[in-house]
Structure 1
Amino acid sequence: MAKKVLIVSNSADLHVDLLIPILQAKGCAAFRLDLDAFPRDYQTSQWFAGGALRQWIRHLPSGVTLDLAEVGAVWSRKPAPFSFLSPDLGIQERIYAGAETEQALFGMLYTLDCFWMSHPLALRGAMWKGEQLQRAARMGFRIPASLTTNSPAEVKAFRASIDGPVIFKALSSPNLGGDGLADGDRVACGIGTTVVDDDMFEQLESVGELACHFQQYIPKQYELRVTIIGERVFAAKIHSQDDQRTAIDSRDMSADILYEATVLPDAVRERCLAFARSYDLPYSALDLIVTPGDDVVFLENNPVGQFLYVEQLIPEFAMLDSLADRLIEECA
C-alpha cells in the first residue's frame, strides 16, 4: 500500500495550499490537518486492543479518513488555536478542552514511527534564541554581542561596552503577541529590528517589566536567507542595503530589493547543514549577515521559517518541488 503524507498546519497556510497539488501530481496522496479547525471539523479514534493499535482521523466536511498506519511522512508546519463545536465555551471549559485535545491529538501523532519534517520535539528544542547563539558560536559562526535581560543597569553596561549602535528585537515574534488575534483585539501592529536611540535609552526602566533582547548592530554588505531541505541548501542573497526601509530589518516587503541565488563557500554551507542536523531538523531557515569585510555572522535559525516568499522572488529555487520530493522519497 502506498504511504501518504500527513500535513499538520492551519487553514491560512499558503505553503500547504501550493504543496498538496504538487504532491498529487507526483502521485502521492496527502491528508491535511488544519489545527484551527480541529477538532470541530474532524473525528479521531485511537484504539488499543489485544496488543494492537488502530487509529484514524476523519475530515468531516470531505468524508476523507486517514488510517495512521498509512502515514509515511509528516510535514509539521504551523500551529494554530483549536476550534470546538461549541463556540461559547467558558474560560475553564476552553482550557480543559484545549488540554484534552492536545493530549488526544499528539498522543496519536507521536506514535508515528516515520519521517518527520520536523518532529515537534525537535522543533521545540530548536526554538530558543539564546541557546541558538551559544550553539552557533560553538560551531564556528561569528555572532553579535548580545544581551537578554530585565535589568536596566545591565543594558546601560552593555551599551557602554559596545563600539557602535545597539539594536532591540523580539525573541518570540515581531508581532508582539498579536498573531492570530482579531483586528479589534490587537493593540499594537508589531516592531521589527530597531536601533535603540537616546530617547529609548531614557526609558530603560520599562525593561524591568520583562526580559528584552539587545544586540550589537553589525554593518551589512548584504544578508543571506539560507533554506535547508534535506541535504539541499538554497542560499538567497538579499540586497537589503539598497533601500533605507530594509537597511536595519530586511523583512519590510514593501521595499523592492533584489533577491538572487548565490553559492555559499563550502565551509559556510557545511556549517549551516551541521547546525540544522544538530537539532535533527530536515528543514530549517537560517538568517545570516555578510559584513563589508566578508565575515559571515549568524543571526538566528527558524525551524519552520517561511520559504515561499523567497521562491516567489527566486523561482529557479523550486523549493516546493524539492520539499515534495523529500517527503515522497521518505514515503517510498
Structure 2
Amino acid sequence: MGDRPGAVLVLTNACDVTADVVLRLLADRRVPVVRFDPGADPPGGASLTARYGPGGQQRGTLRTVSRTLDLSEVRSVWVRRPSPYEPPPGMAERDGRFAAAQAFWGTGGILASLPGAHYVNHPWLIRNAEYKPAQLAAASRSGFLVPNTVITENPEEAREFCSRQPGGAVYKPLWDSRYRTARGAARQVWVRGVDPAEITDAVSVCPHLFQAEVPKAFDVRVTAVGDRLFGVRIESPDLDWRRRQDLMSCAPVEVPGPVARSVGAYLAEFRLTFGTFDFAVTADGSWYFLECNANGQWAWQPPGTTAAIAGALADQLEKGADT
C-alpha cells in the first residue's frame, strides 16, 4: 500500500471527531489528506473550480485555507458527514434558497464526478441505499431474514397487520426526519411498540412503516468495510438501543458465515464499500435484518473494534481505486 499517488479528500464537517480517528492513521502513513466541508467552507475562503472540454477533458482545483488540490490527483474520497447545503448567512431568503440549490447541484456534482477516484461511499450510492423499502427488498434478495413488514397510509391495513403479529408490532420512521414541537423543541422519533387500537386515521397523511416485533435476545451491529466485518453484541433495556446509549453495553461478537455472505451480497447490490448493519438476534440464534446505514457512525464501539474499523477505512482510502 501507499504506492498509488494522490491525496485523500475527506468531505466532513469541522466537528467530526470520528473522521479524526482515521485522519491520524493516514497522517502516520504519510498519506496526503485534504479535509473539506462543501456545505460550509466555500463562504469562508475555500473555492472549487472545474473545467470540461472536448475529448473528455476534465480538470479542476480545490482551494481551502490551508491546501490546494488538483482534482485529477485525488486517489480516494471519503464522504463522511459534510454539512447540508444551506443559504449563505445574511442573504435574502429567495436568493439564499437559489444559492443553496446551485451549491448542491454544482459543488456536489463536481465532487461526485472525480475521475479515477475511489469513493467510500459515493454520495449518489449512499442516497440510493437510504430508502427503507429498497433496503428491505435488497435484504430479502441477499438472503437475510427480514421481519414481516408493511408500509402503508391506509389505517385499516395498518391495524389489520399489527393485530395479526403474534409477538406484537412496532412502528419505525421511514427517514430520520426533523421533528419539532409547537414550541420548537427538537424531538427524536424512536422505534416503539404499537397497539392496533391506537392507530388512528392520522396514518392516512403519509406512509408509515409497521413491522413484526422480533423476540430478540440481543442486538448486533455489524460494520462492513469492503470484505472485512466487525460485529458487536449490544445489550440494552430498550426496544431501540439508540434511545439511551448510556444504558447499553457492547462486546465483540463473531458474524456467522451465512450472515457474512448476505452482507457481501447486499453491499454488492448497492455498490457500497462501507455499511453499518443492525440485527435483532433471537434466543435460537436467528439474525433478523433491521436496516443498513450506508454512512453510519462506528466510533462508539469498544476501543479494539473502533481501532480495527479505523484501520480498515484507512486501508481503503490509502489504496485508491482498483486498477
Shared fold per TM-score greater than 0.5: yes
| Rounded Cα–Cα distance in structure 2 between residues aligned with 1:317 and 1:233 | 13
The one-letter code sitting in structure 2 at the alignment partner of 1:270 is R
Is the 2:136–2:146 contact (alpha carbons within 8 Å) kept by the matching residues of 1?
Answer: yes
Q: d(CA) in 2 for partners of 1:37 and 1:77? A: 14
Query: Who is 1:298 aligned against?
Result: 289
CA contact (8 A) 1:3 1:70 kept: yes
Q: Is the 8 A contact 2:7 2:31 kept in 1?
A: yes
Counterparts of 2:200 and 2:29, CA distance in 1: 56
Deviation at 1:301, TM superposition (A): 0.7
Q: Which runs of 5+ in 1 are unaligned?
A: none
Task: Name 1:30's counterpart in structure 2.
Answer: 33
Deviation for aligned residue 1:224: 1.0
Displaced runs of 4 or more, over 6 A? none
Aligned positions, number: 316
Task: Name the SS for the 2:5 alignment partner.
Answer: coil
1:309 deviates by 0.8
* Per-residue deviation, 1:97: 0.5
Q: Deviations over 1:54-107 (max 9, x none)?
A: 2111113x3x111111200011122422356x5122222122101211232133
| Percent identity of equivalent pairs | 27
Q: 1:254 to 1:267 in 2, by over 3 A?
A: closer
Which residue identity lines up with residue 211 of structure 1 in the other structure?
A: P
Query: How far apart are the structure 1 equivalents of 2:242 and 2:16?
Result: 19
**Residue of structure 2 equivalent to 1:103:** 105
Contact 1:20 1:30 in 2 (8 A): yes
Identify if the C-alpha distance between structure 1 residues 288 and 131 changes in structure 2 by more than 3 Å, giving closer, same or farther.
Answer: same
Report deviation, 1:329. Answer: 1.7
Aligned: 1:219 with 2:215 = yes
Give the TM-score, by structure 1 length.
Answer: 0.87
Which residue of the partner structure matches residue 286 of structure 1?
277
Distance 1:104 1:191, change over 3 A: closer
The match for 2:178 is: 177
Which string of whole-angstrom CA distances, capped at 9 and with x for unpartnered residues, describes residues 124-160 of structure 1?
A: 2211111211121122211111111111111111122
1:267 maps to amino acid? P
Contact 1:169 1:193 in 2 (8 A): yes
2:201 is aligned to 205
1:154 has 2:144 as partner = no
SS of corresponding position for 2:231: strand
Q: 1:202 to 1:256 in 2, by over 3 A?
A: closer
* Residue 189 of structure 1: how far off its partner (Å): 1.8
Aligned to 2:50: 46
Say yes or no: does 1:233 pair with 2:229.
yes
- Map of 1:192 onto structure 2: 190
d(CA) in 1 for partners of 2:251, 2:71: 41
Alignment partner, residue 115 of structure 2: 112
Residue aligned with 1:44, SS = strand
Please say if residues 4 and 331 of structure 1, whose CA atoms lie closer than 8 Å, have aligned partners that are also in contact: no
Q: Over aligned residues, Cα RMSD in angstroms?
A: 2.4
Matched position secondary structure for 2:279 = strand
In 2, Cα distance between equivalents of 1:82 and 1:39: 11
Letter matched to residue 275 of structure 1: Y
User: How far apart, CA to CA, are the structure 1 residues paired with 2:50 and 2:245?
Assistant: 47
Deviations 1:215-252 (A, max 9, x none): 11111111110100111100111123xxx3x2x11113
Q: Is the 8 A contact 2:221 2:231 kept in 1?
A: yes
CA distance in 1, matches of 2:114, 2:39: 22
**Contact 1:39–1:101 (CA under 8 A) maintained in structure 2:** no
Q: Please, which of 318, 325, 328 is the counterpart of residue 315 of structure 2?
A: 325
| CA distance 1:228–1:254, shift in 2 (3 Å) | closer
- Counterpart residue number, 2:252: 261
8 Å Cα contact 1:146-1:216 kept in structure 2: yes
* 1:222/1:67 CA distance change after superposition, 3 Å: same
Structure 1 residue 331: deviation in Å?
6.8
Partner SS state of residue 133, structure 1:
helix
Contact 1:3/1:331, CA 8 A, preserved across alignment: no
Shift of residue 186 of structure 1?
4.2
Q: Report the Cα offset of residue 28 of structure 1.
A: 0.4
- Structure 2 unaligned blocks of 5 or more: none
TM-score normalised over the length of structure 2? 0.90
Amino acid at match of 1:48: Y
Aligned to 2:266: 275
Counterpart in the other structure of 1:309: 300
Evaluate the alpha carbon distance shift between residue 282 and residue 303 of structure 1 in structure 2; reply closer, same or farther with a 3 A threshold: same
Instruction: Write the distance in 1 (CA, Å) between the matches of 2:68 and 2:309.
Output: 29
Q: Where does residue 142 of structure 1 map in the other structure?
A: 145
Q: Which amino acid aligns with 1:320?
A: A
1:251 corresponds to:
242
| Residue of structure 2 equivalent to 1:93 | 95
